[in-house]
Chain A
Amino acid sequence: MDSQPKMPSGYSVKLPSDLEYIPPLRQFVAEIARVEGFSKKFCFRTEIIVDELVTNGILHGSQDVHSEITLEARFEEGTMNLSVQDQGGTRQNLENLKRAVYSPKPPSNDKKKGRGLVIVQMLSSEIKIDLGENGQTQVHVVKTKDPDDSQAQKEKLLYESDL
């Protein structure tokens, strides 16, 4: 068991802008959230958030085949700070992203796309966008422990004993 004092844990992953990487990446982030003491429900929701943000980054941000996506996850007591950075898409893509984040509105029933960020909003505590100096887009999500996460520490101990 970890006997060290609780310090923030930071993880980062830089990977090619390729949809094939998303399934293992989202499972990785969910698994490290579990290691950091969050509940199964929290981790499953994190998996959905990662899937959505990274898919958006690949399809609308890092569109060049040689470009990359960077994901950072930082865990502090009861809070996960997640950020996904892409190389920056077109002005229209950025406008669409801002609209989806700052004035979310579910699309009409006949639209096939546009629900992802609405779901991310529902599953997270805070979401914001930063623009880098070289045009990169960074989406930050803060997700705090759910009120019914009191069992998480107990589950963590059971999980560690299984490893």
Chain B
Amino acid sequence: MRISQQVSSHDERIVLLHFEGDLNASDCEATSKIFQEIIDSKKYFIVALMENVTFVSSPFLGELMGCKLRLVEKGGNMVIVGLNYDLRERLIQMGADKIFQFYPDTHTAYNHYHWEYTQTAQVVTITLPPKLQSVPAVRRFIAGIAKQKGYTARDSFRIETIVDEIANNAIEHGDSTQPEISVELRIDRKKFELLVRNKTLMDKANQLKYVLEANKETAQTGDTRGRGLALVKLISNSINVSIDKSGTEVKITKMREDS
């Protein structure tokens, strides 16, 4: 085994550990010492680079698990990057995927680190022509992102419902000459924000504001339409509408249920 370490140029709280060759039981002691030195230097995030590793013995895997436990106790983590297909399959058979996250490259591992530990929101902006037929694709795209980022199926379904309603409203009640509508998603570990911007005729925009602020539904008994915003209010945490001459912006915030 060969092992070398460097502090990440991306973030000095992260240490990159390059492993090479066979990781045998006889290498545990030396590795344990390196891990302890890293922890003593108050660096609690380790990216284990294993592109050039050919074998991982079960005692060595146990050593990695022990180190991960010590890091987690300090609020840190260790992830594994660059495993080849065969080794990855073997580690999965040994149950290591229940303990460690495996990433194909350091870039993805850094993304994970930012998502988990820096609470930075990720932003996705979509512009689309005002076509109602495009809305299903948009709502599924955004719900798919929520799922990919670890939101539950129930949260994702509710997000899909919110996107569908707000995007449909923006198109259906927007200015018929508007060239596009804009949908912006800000997502972090704890909450999801949706901003939909469009051009709206002022009387329709004021009607929308009235519905939201007066906490009333537009639907009268027997009407088949007009319950969408009431539903969105039920399943989200806040709705804000701002209207000016440049257009209408609806902002919805939904907290993650299991956060």
Q: Which residues of A contact B (CB under 8 A)?
A: 2, 9-21, 23-25, 27-28, 31-32, 35, 58-59, 63, 65, 160, 163
Cβ-defined contact, A28 with B107, below 8 A: no
Q: How many angstroms from the CA of A28 to the CA of B111 in the assembled complex?
A: 22
> What is the interface size of chain B, counting residues whose CB is below 8 A from a CB of the partner?
31
Chain B residues with CB under 8 Å of A10's CB are 127, 129, 180
Cβ-defined contact, A65 with B145, below 8 A: no
The 10 closest A-B pairs by CB, nearest first: A24-B144, A31-B137, A28-B141, A14-B125, A15-B124, A18-B111, A16-B122, A20-B148, A9-B129, A65-B110
Cβ-defined contact, A35 with B131, below 8 A: yes
Extra A-B contacts (11), CB below 8 Å, given A21-B145, A31-B137: A2-B133, A10-B127, A11-B127, A12-B125, A13-B125, A21-B148, A23-B148, A24-B140, A24-B144, A31-B140, A59-B107
- Nearest chain-A residue to B136 (Cβ)? A163
In the complex, whether B105 has a CB less than 8 A from a CB of chain A is: yes
- Nearest chain-B residue to A68 (Cβ)? B123
Q: How many angstroms from the CA of A11 to the CA of B123 in the assembled complex?
A: 17
- Nearest chain-B residue to A162 (Cβ)? B136
Q: How many angstroms from the CA of A63 to the CA of B10 in the assembled complex?
A: 11
Check A28/B137 contact, CB under 8 A, given A16-B111, A18-B122: yes
Q: How many angstroms from the CA of A153 to the CA of B228 in the assembled complex?
A: 31
Cβ-defined contact, A58 with B107, below 8 A: yes
B119-166 residues at the A interface, CB under 8 angstroms: 122-129, 131, 133-134, 136-138, 140-142, 144-145, 147-149
In the complex, whether B114 has a CB less than 8 A from a CB of chain A is: yes
- Chain A nearest Cβ from B115, distance in angstroms: 8
Cβ-defined contact, A21 with B124, below 8 A: yes
How many residue pairs bridge A and B at CB < 8 Å? 86
Chain A residues with CB under 8 Å of B136's CB are 31, 163
In the complex, whether B104 has a CB less than 8 A from a CB of chain A is: yes
B74-128 residues at the A interface, CB under 8 angstroms: 104-105, 107-108, 110-111, 114, 122-128
Chain A residues with CB under 8 Å of B133's CB are 2, 35, 160, 163
Q: How many angstroms from the CA of A31 to the CA of B136 in the assembled complex?
A: 9
Cβ-defined contact, A14 with B124, below 8 A: yes
Q: How many angstroms from the CA of A35 to the CA of B140 in the assembled complex?
A: 14
